[in-house]
Amino acid sequence: MATKFFLLAFLALWASRALASDPSQLQDFCVADRTSQVFVNGFACKDPKTVVVEDFLFSGLHMAGNMSNKQGSAVSAVNVAHIPGLNTLGISLARVDYAPYGQNPPHIHPRASEGLIHFQFNTGDKEAIAIAALSSKNPGVITIANAVFGSVPSISDDILAKAFQVDKKAVDHVQAQF
Ligand code: MN
């Protein structure tokens, strides 16, 4: 009886563990073939015989992006679009430069979670840099303000005025910025 109970308890504990993960690699690499006419979830693999060193290289990340915009920031993404060798590896990164008082506006990545691996605090008088690690070869980005106030077709100002508890003029003013 006791043995059965412990077996049951063990099975219950074991079964409660989440075993989900990205599919494991079935080959050493799968360099993205952007010329392929095969449409799969991601990119088809280039013929391994034609893979070259450059498929795994990217340079230029040591240079700051252009921060002269309304947000005072620049995002330099390095994902499968820049390094075809990242295909199927589930990782990418981005360099974010901040001008004094600049910001990277609130956003989400629909296909990835994000972690900052390096950040220099923006003290106001100096530029700052953040390096973000993302758990997807192609994380995507949805900037909240653009999606809410700059969508095409636009979201009715009636709806947004109520949602943000302001009058319609305020909404129209913000929508006009996009
Ligand atoms: Mn981000």
pLDDT in tens, 94-116: 999 999 989 999 999 999 998 87
Q: How far is CA 103 from CA 69, 71, 131, 166, in A?
A: 10, 6, 14, 24
Report CA(23)–ligand 1 centroid distance (Å): 24
Q: How far is CA 94 from CA 80, 123, 135, in A?
A: 12, 21, 12
pLDDT tens digit sequence for 117-139: 777 666 667 888 999 999 999 99
In the predicted structure, residue 9 carries a pLDDT above the cut 80: no
Query: Are 52 and 65 contacting, i.e. CB atoms less than 8 angstroms apart?
Result: no
* 136 in the same domain as 53: yes
* Integer-rounded Cα radius of gyration of the chain: 23
In the predicted structure, residue 6 carries a pLDDT above the cut 70: no
Report CA(167)–ligand 1 centroid distance (Å): 31
Question: Is 11 part of any domain?
Answer: no
Query: Are 74 and 127 contacting, i.e. CB atoms less than 8 angstroms apart?
Result: no
Distance CA 87, CA 152 (A): 31
Look at residue 8 in the predicted model and tell me its pLDDT: 57
pLDDT tens digit sequence for 70-88: 999 999 999 999 999 999 9
Total domains in the chain come to: 2
Enclosing domain of residue 159:
146-175
